[in-house]
Structure 1
């Protein structure tokens, strides 16, 4: 089996405040992210999921345990550039990542700072903008774009660095439903068609349901890890930590409480409708 692209080993983390050490944010997280996978990390605010994300390309360093990126120890300063070339980050607010007044100049910013030759930058910028469906906007001003379009530009800026993995920390939190759908479609295309490893940090059940693997966090620990269809079947366990489940699972679960024989692994609307149809047929 190949080496995981990200490996967290008993990672512990506490923020240090002016008054001293704050409560523990990560309480011993162990997690391997396989290359080419699409993993969603789900949890409430305060669960530790965003703190864990920032450990994945050495924005934060563990106060205990280790994080390895493609075998590189994130605490080794001389490896920092290689680590951030391997794992790119996209954050909640695209305005915080957009630095230029023209879309294509913004996407070119990171490769330029990495010393990439100009003809290669041109190729990377065009390729990245096409990958996120924003090539026709290459000469536009970013501040005139919608929230979803800005977030896709931010993703393109990371793609232009050609990372093997992209970690997205609640990238749809500030978007409307159309923008959210656009960004999710872009993420899935990068993973399926380009083989980019994707780690999606979210608190949206419907987004988490689209991943291949779902990691659930609560109070700084991993409390569930598996395929979304498996994890979401533990409705009562998720409710116990203040999380819900997708609407389809909730409906099927409530009907099961009434004694109806229905599966809990029908996540999509189509699968749920088919399960109800089969029940009504019998």
Structure 2
């Protein structure tokens, strides 16, 4: 059984006077425990609505969302679902509630009724996991945006969550802050095997995932590995999405006649492809120098 099972999920927002806006339209997919899944889509595609269903913040208008077998529409299961799935939102100021960092991280375990010694251990472990131990006695308002997001992540980790959902959690950060948060996310996935659902509009971040899901006007438009999805660059651009710079450069080089593979995703992929071409050109040039005027082997003087 998958950790997240979504079957024919639709969600409509009431717009007044009987009108509705359908944000999700008959979406079906599953996410296995330990996966790192990026979710892409243009504004209004349904990404944030999708995210809120995973923590039972929203309930399906039609269809089903199950977390580890628990139906989000079952009110008796909501607390257990939220112990399994932690949310990190775009603005960390909306999640930080205490006057001191360690108190904020301890808030969740305290509400679970964990013993004081266990709470202390959970706080220590969570702060260490996000590299914020030395800031435990700081006031959150003194921290940078990236540091605040780390504390928000630590608060979810202290709940011993199995899945972390990031709803455009790097959108308000500068490039350095985005890089730091993505690095932490990858480490949590690789080292602690936490399931990651990472909603973003930064293509380079999505390229770091194991799997990419693309939503368009509430429907599931694409689902595959980053290489499979970004190979469909023309389709993505028609959906109003950019592609990673390495993908765009690779496509332009192919159009210019270079033998660049279609599955370029990361900068490393592009560098390796160019290095391969340079090496091949060097072999051809060397072979030309070593051949005689008729194409035969050169004869030494």
Asked whether the two chains share a fold, i.e. TM above 0.5, the reply is: yes
- 1:71-150 equivalent positions in 2, closer than 5 A: 71-150=69-148
Compute the displacement of 1:113 (Å): 1.2
The corresponding residue for 2:219 is 221
**Of 266, 275, 290, which residue of structure 2 is paired with 1:268?**
266
| Aligned mates of 2:70, 2:5 — CA distance in 1 | 10
- Does 1:170 pair with 2:168? yes
Provide TM-score, normalisation by structure 1.
Answer: 0.97
* RMSD of aligned alpha carbons: 1.0
Partner SS for 1:65 = strand
Aligned residues: 280
Compute the displacement of 1:265 (Å): 1.8
Q: Deviations over 1:23-60 (max 9, x none)?
A: 21101111101001110001111010110000001000
Partner SS for 1:130 = helix
| Aligned mates of 1:109, 1:18 — CA distance in 2 | 37
The corresponding residue for 1:13 is 11
The corresponding residue for 1:195 is 193
| Aligned mates of 1:95, 1:58 — CA distance in 2 | 21
The corresponding residue for 1:254 is 252
Compute the displacement of 1:264 (Å): 2.5
Provide TM-score, normalisation by structure 2.
Answer: 0.91
**Of 30, 45, 48, which residue of structure 2 is paired with 1:50?**
48
Is residue 14–residue 21 contact of structure 1 (8 Å, CA) maintained in 2?
no
Structure 1: state its 5+ residue gaps. Answer: none
| Aligned mates of 1:36, 1:278 — CA distance in 2 | 34
Structure 2: state its 5+ residue gaps. Answer: 282-301
